[in-house]
Structure 1
Amino acid sequence: MMRHAREPRAEDRPHRFARVRAILAGGLVLGVGGSLTMAAWTDSEFGQATFTASSFNTESSINTGSTWADSTAVAPLVFAFSAAAMSPTTVKYAPFWVRTKTVSLDGTLSLQTATSNNTAFAAALKYRVVRYSTGTCDSSQFSAGAVYIVGAAGLPAAGGAALTSTPTVSTGVAANQSAVTQLCFEVSMNADAPNTLQGGSITATWEVKATSSS
């Protein structure tokens, strides 16, 4: 006996129609979505920059700019003091010039505490340092209106600083070798230097520490 397919009942028809409509709607959504993806074009823009570090380099001269060189703690420049035959009240002078190299930032110079190989001799010495722009490095630079980096105006023994003292004043150095910072050193022996120093010697070393401004 054959069974005939059941005719859909009237109450089933709305539900079936709703399912068909939902499926068709879903297909439409998928179709629209696919269509938008297929039609989209892409393009990009790029930007790039290369950054290079700045430089800060200094060099120094002990002969008023006739020659320039890099100096180090191992190989310092030797001051042009006429430093032989020191005795009580003797005063000696020597220039020390500093400048930046080409393509260098500007900065500041700070004179550090001197080091020496003879503590007793160092105790009998005082020094002053001024910044000057013209003239010779001699006693004329140490006037009341001078720019003192170490010490102050007055007699060397009175206005000077002990060789072992720490200076506190800094001075500028111009960028790109555009100007020279000219320093004049004055070193004197105290009037009360002991006789035990006769025939002795001392090697004193100063560091001029340079720091870039940026």
Structure 2
Amino acid sequence: MRAILAGGLVLGAGCTLTLAAWNDSEFAAGTFTASSFQIESSVNSGGAWLAHPTSGSAATMAFSAAGMSPSTVNYAPIWIRTTAGSLSGTLTLQGASNNNAALAAALTYRVVRYSSGSCDSSQFTAGASYLVGTSASTVPLTTAGAATAVAANSLSPTQMCFEVTMLASADNSLQGASVTATWEIKGTSDS
């Protein structure tokens, strides 16, 4: 009997043994950086480039617009480009806001995209790339324009020429009045 009990104790002791296991781990990480899209403008044909992200910091286009009278036409360029490291994108000209509705209603405009020459009447030909208006017609200042591309990494600026005309029918009561028209050129990245 003692031999059987001793055998049971030995068997019970053998059942409490635990098995050891080896383990090891590997970890992997990835770093993700968002791309950037930022545009800047030049109102002096590429002489100086600055960001103007709000209407309060708007670039001042160089119109010779003092002393406008009925049928007067004025021109001014603005060039837009992406900053270094930026994606390419699309620019869309929004209609102008203004601070004098009566005088703004007496002004019309059109805009072309151009690649060489000066921003003047020679840019507004039948074959020009019109963003606003056409070779035969101008539109109110509040009219938005067609979209156009802007290259990545500051490669080539998108050159726009604005033409603003006072209507021949402008009311006599507008003499001496002034208006500030502010256009937004909205940029959207391609990716």
Q: Shared fold by TM > 0.5?
A: yes
Residue 132 (structure 2) pairs with residue 150 (structure 1):
yes
Distance in 1, Cα, partners of 2:15 & 2:135? 93
**Paired residues for 1:51-200 under 5 Å:** 51-71=32-52, 72-154=54-136, 159-167=137-145, 169-200=146-177
Structure 1 unaligned spans of 5+: 1-6, 8-15
Q: CA deviation at 1:74?
A: 1.1
Distance in 1, Cα, partners of 2:14 & 2:113? 87
Distance in 2, Cα, partners of 1:118 & 1:64? 28
Distance in 2, Cα, partners of 1:77 & 1:210? 15
Distance in 2, Cα, partners of 1:186 & 1:139? 8
Distance in 2, Cα, partners of 1:166 & 1:192? 23
Q: CA deviation at 1:30?
A: 6.1
Residue 32 (structure 2) pairs with residue 47 (structure 1):
no
Q: Deviations over 1:115-139 (max 9, x none)?
A: 1111111111110001111111111
- Identical-pair percentage: 56
Native 8 Å contact 2:94 2:143 kept in 1: no
Secondary structure (helix, strand or coil) at the match of 2:41 reads strand
Q: Deviations over 1:185-205 (max 9, x none)?
A: 000011111111111111111
Mark the CA change 1:153 to 1:29 in structure 2 (over 3 Å): closer, same or farther: farther
Secondary structure (helix, strand or coil) at the match of 2:62 reads coil
Q: What letter matches 1:201 in structure 2?
A: S
Secondary structure (helix, strand or coil) at the match of 2:149 reads strand
How many residue pairs get aligned? The number is: 186
Distance in 2, Cα, partners of 1:130 & 1:211? 19
Higher helix share: 1
Distance in 2, Cα, partners of 1:196 & 1:178? 47
Structure 2 unaligned spans of 5+: none
Distance in 1, Cα, partners of 2:144 & 2:89? 20
Alignment RMSD, CA only? Answer: 2.0
1:205 to 168, 178, 182: 182
Q: Deviations over 1:1-36 (max 9, x none)?
A: xxxxxx9xxxxxxxx9xxx89x95x877765xx3xx
